Amino acid sequence: MSLHYDMASQPPLFAQKDIARRVAELGAEISTHYEGLLAEGETLLVVGVLNGAFVFMADLIRAMSVPLEVDFIRLSSYEDQQTSSSKIVMLKDLERDVRHRHILVVEDIADCGLTLNWLLEYLKTRDPASVRLAVAIDKKARREHALSLDFVAFGIEDGFLIGYGLDAGRRYREFPAIYSLGG
């Protein structure tokens, strides 16, 4: 079965111009937050969660005015059919040392919270100065794990989204707007 999406079939949930405006606002908000935290010569470590966060993160860091470095982590979750619980597997770890550093984790979507919750606990074991979360989409309906989202571009209750880094079957990340495939 092949998934096909016609961008002309419906208007976007979040248009490209609205995303650009909101990301610029978020970049300024994040910069203001970190200006008082970063010591002279210190850089913020911005960590993107691959693959979905790369589009949002690229726009976001260009909208920020604090000195920063970029790194990426790649995680995968899968269902353990013997215990019916989800497991997180790290496919790519960070290359930068996070000890005593301020970290901003950037993710495309906060959904059930499993992956972000696991990542926060993992990062805390590495003794950072602080860890904050920035997400493009906060999707609340399926949240199973409590999350403190520090910087949120857009919030929705539910729905399956594509575009602006979000995919369906590894496709549609390149769309400049965010579309809903339903709820």
| Phi and psi torsions of 34, nearest 5° | -85, -15
Report the alpha-carbon distance of residue 101 to residue 105 in Å, rounded: 12
Give the CA-trace dihedral at 39, 41, 42, 48, to 10 degrees. Answer: 140
- What is the helix (H) or strand (E) element at residue 140, kind and residue range? none
Angle at 96 between CA 93 and CA 98, to 5 degrees: 95
Question: What one-letter code names the amino acid at 55?
Answer: V
DSSP, res 41:
T
Report the alpha-carbon distance of residue 70 to residue 48 in Å, rounded: 8
Give the list of residues 6+ apart from residue 70 with CB closer than 8 angstroms, or none: 45, 46, 47, 48, 57, 61
What are the catalytic residues? 111
